[in-house]
Chains A and B, each alone.
Chain A
Amino acid sequence: MGPKLPDGLARWVLEHLPYPFIGSTIVPLGVDLGECHDRHRNQVDAGSLLQELPPPSDDLLKMALVGADLFYSVMTYVFGLTELGGRRGVLSCYRLRDELGTRPEILLQRTLVETVHELGHSLGLVHCVVGECPMHRTLWAEGIDTKKETYCPSCLATLVKNGH
């Protein structure tokens, strides 16, 4: 099933989440990752995990943060997967580590930015052209380092317009 989530990562991310996610809480995953694990790939199927994830109650959002490597359909890997406006998503920190292992704080910041990215999708935000916006698409981990955890004015305006 791959590596576990590093201790304290979820808590650190939670404490640094920006508006409009301040006040979020941590709940147990509620899914057996083994059910979504592909033995041949030794990866977790992000699509299956997303389907298995119990839907959040009321107007809440749910983001599953896992340590295992994710794949989706014909893609060899994905950082995360969220249904657009679907209020639930999954994110892996597996590929977000600092490649040299010399700066552990990088994993924290990258996970925070990508959490905000997937949460943005769950609120209906699409990818953004602004390089510093967390909704900007990056295909490699180093690219995340150029992004901030707060939305750009355009994405914020979209959230406000959509009533969030």
Chain B
Amino acid sequence: MGSAVRMLIVDDERHVRTSLAAWFRDEGFDVETAASGKEALLQLGDRAADILLVDIKMPGMDGIELQQRVRKLAPDATVIIMTAHAAVETAIQALKDGAYDYITKPFDPEDVSRLVRKAAERYSLLSENRTLRERLEAAEPRLVASKGSPMDAVVEQINQVAVTDTSVLITGESGTGKEIIARLIHARSQRRFGPMVVVNCGALNEGVLESELFGHEKGAFTGAAGRRRGKIELANEGTLFLDEVGDIPAKVQVDLLRVLQEKSVVRVGGNMSLSVDFRLVAATHRDLEAEMQQERFRQDFYFRINVLNIEVPALRDRPADIPLLAEHFLQQFTQQMNRRIAGFTDEALGGLCSYRWPGNVRELQNAIERGVVLCRGGKLGVQHFPFLSAPAPDDQSLSSMEAAHVRRVLAAQGYNISHTAAALGIDRATLYAKLKKYKIERPT
């Protein structure tokens, strides 16, 4: 453990420095010594120390002042004060100023070894913690937007709401990146070290959604072979993200409302109330106010989830972001597929910028992925984006236009039924009915 830990021993008495240095080198520490506070600061400028053993009484800069200056220079360094019995009160002052501990001279070898090992363990934990934080920060999703983009306002809202603990409702068309916004809120919040649990409410029927959210006890229903924790329980101390919240059935809305009010959950088939502490972020592509008017969405639940609202603009409302996003996805997919593609032709980029993107960023992402798959080197051109050059159908009837539009969105979404349905603003069953009606099949 001690092999990587760097120690600096600061004492004006040479025999103390040499004896302690020899002692801790034997224990596996990387030890340097300094005869004064000034020398210690000079050394720290060149080489960081993880643990400092500092004598409290030294001519010139004393241990207290050195400790205070070390705090500013290296806040993570662990300072242990060495003191004589007579100066214990001063050592206690050093503790109040942030020293890790103090030890009185002369030392019991067991005591000093134990103390320094404890400090080394603390250092290891701090380092591990720092590494994990850095990894977490590096893992924060990236929001690609140009300067002056409407997304600037969204980012500002994210930063404002992230530090609070209130519920957030993210609205916007399908494919605008609502989940990324939710992840950013979580990543920038105090709960970022807790879990972020995602539930796609639109993909589940009422019974499954109930069990998914609240969990169930063994035997709660046919097939409930064992106890299962719900997503709400799993989100404890973190963030619960309810995607497609507008699709939640009325009964589940009532149950969720109770959870939000009481901060506790009861598993399906259970009778024990479990305390939960989570932050709710919900998202929908639906107009919930219109849904309320049609009594498809409960007003009380709406007000509970819509404390703060973030409206994510459609991609067609921020055309300046399209080249940046296209380039971002191009880099992402060329790296993933190990391809060399030199960018876009001007014609293709112009087409991408003027296209209306009904499926928003997700549609753009799918289009670029498909283009990278099809491209055999050089640049991505309009031929790699069939929807840009699709001729207007001769038949101008509504059904013909609809069939052409479904075909185009389906191709842009890589023939993914869920994404296409979301982009078209219809459910999967309706999309299947239209595919059948227009005899649209996935090309082999």
Are A75 and B26 touching (Cβ within 8 A)? no
How far apart are the CA atoms of A74 and B56 in the complex, in Å? Answer: 14
Contact of B207 with A by CB under 8 A:
no
How far apart are A144's CB and chain B's nearest CB, in angstroms? 14
Closest Cβ neighbor of B16 among chain A residues: A74
How far apart are the CA atoms of A16 and B26 in the complex, in Å? Answer: 27
How far apart are the CA atoms of A55 and B398 in the complex, in Å? Answer: 109
Taking CB atoms, residues of chain B closer than 8 Å to A25 are none
Docked complex: B90-111 residues within 8 A CB-CB of A: 105-110
How far apart are A36's CB and chain B's nearest CB, in angstroms? 14
B104-137 interface mask toward A, CB cutoff 8 Å, 1 = contact, 0 = none?
0111111011000000000000000000000000
Are A76 and B26 touching (Cβ within 8 A)? no
Docked complex: A131-145 residues within 8 A CB-CB of B: 137, 139-140
Contact of B262 with A by CB under 8 A:
no
Taking CB atoms, residues of chain B closer than 8 Å to A137 are 26-27
Are B15 and A139 touching (Cβ within 8 A)? no
Are A73 and B109 touching (Cβ within 8 A)? no
A55-90 interface mask toward B, CB cutoff 8 Å, 1 = contact, 0 = none?
000000000000000011111111000000000000
B19 touches which of A72, A126, A139 (Cβ 8 Å): A72
Docked complex: B320-357 residues within 8 A CB-CB of A: none
Are A71 and B26 touching (Cβ within 8 A)? no
Are A76 and B20 touching (Cβ within 8 A)? no
Are B109 and A76 touching (Cβ within 8 A)? yes
Taking CB atoms, residues of chain A closer than 8 Å to B108 are 75-77
Taking CB atoms, residues of chain A closer than 8 Å to B113 are 139
Docked complex: B7-50 residues within 8 A CB-CB of A: 15-16, 18-20, 23, 26-27
| Contact A127 B106, CB 8 Å, known A73-B15, A73-B16, A74-B20 | no
Interface size grouping (class) on chain B: 10 to 19
Contact of A2 with B by CB under 8 A:
no
Taking CB atoms, residues of chain A closer than 8 Å to B105 are 74
SS class, residues of chain B in contact with chain A: helix
Closest Cβ neighbor of A78 among chain B residues: B109
A114-136 interface mask toward B, CB cutoff 8 Å, 1 = contact, 0 = none?
00000000000011000000000
Taking CB atoms, residues of chain B closer than 8 Å to A47 are 15, 19
Taking CB atoms, residues of chain B closer than 8 Å to A140 are 110
How far apart are the CA atoms of A133 and B292 in the complex, in Å? Answer: 78
Taking CB atoms, residues of chain A closer than 8 Å to B23 are 75
Are B110 and A74 touching (Cβ within 8 A)? no
Closest Cβ neighbor of A121 among chain B residues: B26
Are A75 and B109 touching (Cβ within 8 A)? yes
Are B19 and A75 touching (Cβ within 8 A)? yes
Taking CB atoms, residues of chain A closer than 8 Å to B107 are 74-76
Docked complex: A1-25 residues within 8 A CB-CB of B: none
How far apart are the CA atoms of A22 and B264 in the complex, in Å? Answer: 76
**Residue from A73, A77, A78, A126 with most neighbouring chain B CB atoms (10 Å):** A73
**Residue from B19, B20, B108 with most neighbouring chain A CB atoms (10 Å):** B19
Closest Cβ neighbor of B14 among chain A residues: A73
Are B109 and A71 touching (Cβ within 8 A)? no
Taking CB atoms, residues of chain A closer than 8 Å to B20 are 73-74
| Contact A74 B106, CB 8 Å, known A47-B15, A139-B113 | yes
8 intermolecular pairs with C-beta atoms under 8 Å apart:
A73-B16, A73-B18, A74-B19, A75-B109, A76-B108, A127-B27, A137-B27, A139-B113
Q: Which B residues form the contact surface with A (CB < 8 A)?
A: 15-16, 18-20, 23, 26-27, 82, 105-110, 112-113
Q: A75-B109, A75-B112, A76-B108 are in contact. List 17 more A-B contacts (CB 8 A).
A: A47-B19, A73-B15, A73-B18, A74-B19, A74-B20, A74-B106, A74-B107, A75-B19, A75-B23, A75-B106, A76-B107, A126-B26, A137-B26, A137-B27, A139-B109, A139-B113, A140-B110
